[in-house]
Amino acid sequence: MNLKSTSILITLLFSLAFFMSCESSKKETKQAKPLNILWLVTEDMGAYISPFGDNTVATPNLTRLANEGVIFPNLYSASGVCAPSRAAIATGMYPSSIGANHMRTTSNTKETGLPKYEAVPPAQVKMISDLLRQKGYYCTNNYKEDYQFIAPVTAWDESSPYAHWRNRKDNQPFFAVFNFTETHESGLFEPYGFRQIETRHYKSGDINYKWKLNGLPASKNRILEENNPVHIPKDTKFKVPPYLVDNEVTQRDMWKLYNNIAEMDKQVGAVLKQLEADGLLETTIIVFYGDHGGPLPREKRLIYDSGLNTPMIIRFPEKMNAGTKFNELISFVDFAPTLLSLIGEKPKKYMQGKAFLGKYQSKKPRKYIHAAADRFDGFTDAIRAVRDNQFKYIRNYKPEQGYYLPVAYREKIPSMQELLKLKNEGKLNDIQKQWFRENKPKEELFDCKNDPFELNNLAHKPEYKNKLKELSLEMDSWLTKIDDNPNLPEAELITKLWNGKKTKPETAKPRITLKNNKVVISCETAGASIGYKRNPKARSWQVYSKPFEINSSKTLLVKTHRIGYKPSEIITISIK
């Protein structure tokens, strides 16, 4: 089956998100319940697994998922770091269009001299989970959020280390997200060890379970190396990227990287086992992906492919199109519109991505992906990138500034420390020196197929002038379309997000009235989400969309929150 027919078939079979039985006997189809959606999200993940050509370490669960599903080798994050990328996933908007492009906007205030702030999308923007909840889905997040803004109380039914589809109402469709942190950059630090909170996946569904180690919460503790499972021999000889130094220090970091991937695969398997045990495997769309590229130096935070490209696998019910490959370009901004398309809902007009599956799948494949890099912790740069199927164009808005930013967190990685040590000793080769140049060209052009590590700048070669012009014009068009000014100082960005005010805007308190035995709630702040609880002890807040009846005396709790604004206080009223 070719890719086009695969795409058309997926579109037809997933229209309205009703799973149609497609057994080989061609029995009469019957309408079933809406499909569930399960996201398995790992961190700092390049294409280091066998379904994408790297057989260094065994990943039986991901390999099975790929054999039973479709692999997507051309998925790109909108940034080389997690929080801006997660903002794109959650909203369907580019981070640099909503003020989510600077990493860690609520910290590093001493270094930047800036106030704490959050991204502020347009008023109509909602988190994708909020939109799915409005359509009856039970939405859970286990457990990391990190969107460059605080999620409104309406975003999730549950968001915690114990969030699970098992806590939903009987037969309620679910959208469940499980985040795996084993592969995070910090997994390369010394002393080496897994974050013990990952064991939560073996206990998921038991909301009363509390894991502790040495009397401390699991999130505050780690299993040290001597107690870690070893999934790959420590004396394995790893292939090291040319921008790193191939020595014992880097080899050990490579071992950690692959050992962490194997442990992550084990955790993925635990969740999949629960799905099968609950009899939900064939009524669930399973999506595995990483939140951006790899964790090594010159990968994370950069907008080379090593920092943007991350693998994705989707398993459809009944193993539809098993073992196939979907080669089209996909951006993180495409996730939100695709989710809506898969449940039969038209993507929102404000969304800057396009659906790549479902009823409203875009008729035209994506021709380009776009990305941005700005401040990381206490260090600021301004870089934009556009890529087609082969070439990437990078525009540096601070060419007088070097590539390397001395981010303290990254410098905890031993191979990063080794690069800096050998740089100071004058022992790096020309490729390894590139990252440490004191300045950078205004424009760069790379042939990503023939130069996958993006080391040979073609921007000034006459034979590539047409491609350079094409991608430069595409970047100009994109920047204008999303209202992104890379030269805008961050202080002025904050002023823009806050509508010229000097303090963070606040969400107006809810207005609550009783009319004809129905509760009517409104908020003066445009775009504010309204959450309410009829029972103060309820685990989650319900999403208010229309007046509802009160049949007996109730204590009603109401809270309003526009993304990027300070949320309202909780208003409690008694209704008799």
Q: Report, as residue numbers or ranges, the catalytic residues.
A: 82
Block residue for tokens 């690069």: 419
Q: What is the pairing mode between strands 529-533 and 542-543? A: antiparallel
Contact 179, 43 (CB under 8 A): yes
Q: Let me know if 385 is exposed, middle or buried by CB neighbors in 10 A (0-12, 13-18, 19+).
A: buried
Three-state DSSP class for residue 235:
coil
Contact 244, 432 (CB under 8 A): yes
Q: Where are the alpha helices (DSSP H) in 26-181?
A: 60-67, 82-91, 95-98, 109-112, 128-134
Contact 393, 468 (CB under 8 A): yes
**Within 13 A of 494's CA, how many CA atoms are on the CB side?**
17
In whole angstroms, give the CA distance from residue 97 to residue 412.
Answer: 31
Contact 137, 345 (CB under 8 A): no
Three-state SS sequence of 5-45: HHHHHHHHHCHHHEEECCCCCCCCCCEEEECEEEEEEECCC
Three-state SS sequence of 269-300: HHHHHHHHHCCCHHHEEEEEEECCCCCCCCCC
Q: CA angle at residue 172 from 534 to 160, to 5 degrees?
A: 65
In whole angstroms, give the CA distance from residue 571 to residue 560.
Answer: 9
Instruction: Using the Cα atoms of residue 302, residue 241, residue 405 and residue 222 in order, give the sign of their dihedral.
Output: positive
Tell me which residue of 33, 135, 560 sits closest to 348, measured CA to CA: 135
Contact 200, 218 (CB under 8 A): yes
In whole angstroms, give the CA distance from residue 374 to residue 8.
Answer: 38
Contact 61, 265 (CB under 8 A): yes
In whole angstroms, give the CA distance from residue 8 to residue 375.
Answer: 41
In whole angstroms, give the CA distance from residue 474 to residue 493.
Answer: 24
Tell me which residue of 517, 509, 520, 516 sits closest to 570, measured CA to CA: 509
- Phi then psi for residue 305, to 5 deg, are -60, -30
